[in-house]
Amino acid sequence: MEKVQYKNVVFTVWDVGGQEKLRPLWRHYFNNTDALIFVVDSLDRERIQRAKDEFNSIINDPFMKNSAILVFANKQDMKGALTAAEIAEGLGLSDLRGRRWHCQSAVATQGLGLYEGLDWLSGTLKTMQSRGVKTSVGTSGAKGTNFSAAGVKKSIMSFF
């Protein structure tokens, strides 16, 4: 767990990784999660269906039903990489109803696209909060959405 501040939003981040043996444990992190950051290797065309299956198993969990979704289409600098639009299509993002999502082109090793994605996410979470849209679902108060003098505190999960 790590706390990251971006602009006036404090994110509590759990990088739960993409290792297959850890996947059954992911659901233990869903309680009170406001947003999901899902990173896709855009060069790995053969595994986009697998990524879609994993993505859907996460977003369809009852604890994740209100969370905002940011997808980073990583490795955009590599020849033959799927575009962000192709990643969005491959994950079925346009089929999501009642969900706030964004697919951002990125080159993580160079920091390209990361700030744009985080700008979208922080703005979306603030808008949802100001409109009274509940972003997290859960029973414990350990990781809820809170306002403080420093800004909005959010719990997010990232999958790499």
Q: Which residues are catalytic?
A: 19
What is the spatial distance between Cα 7 and Cα 122, in angstroms, rounded to a whole number? 8
What is the spatial distance between Cα 36 and Cα 69, in angstroms, rounded to a whole number? 5
What is the spatial distance between Cα 44 and Cα 40, in angstroms, rounded to a whole number? 8
C-alpha distances in Å from residue 6, one per residue of 11, 115, 118, 156: 8, 9, 8, 13
Strands (E), the chain: 2-6, 9-15, 35-41, 68-74, 101-105, 146-148, 151-159
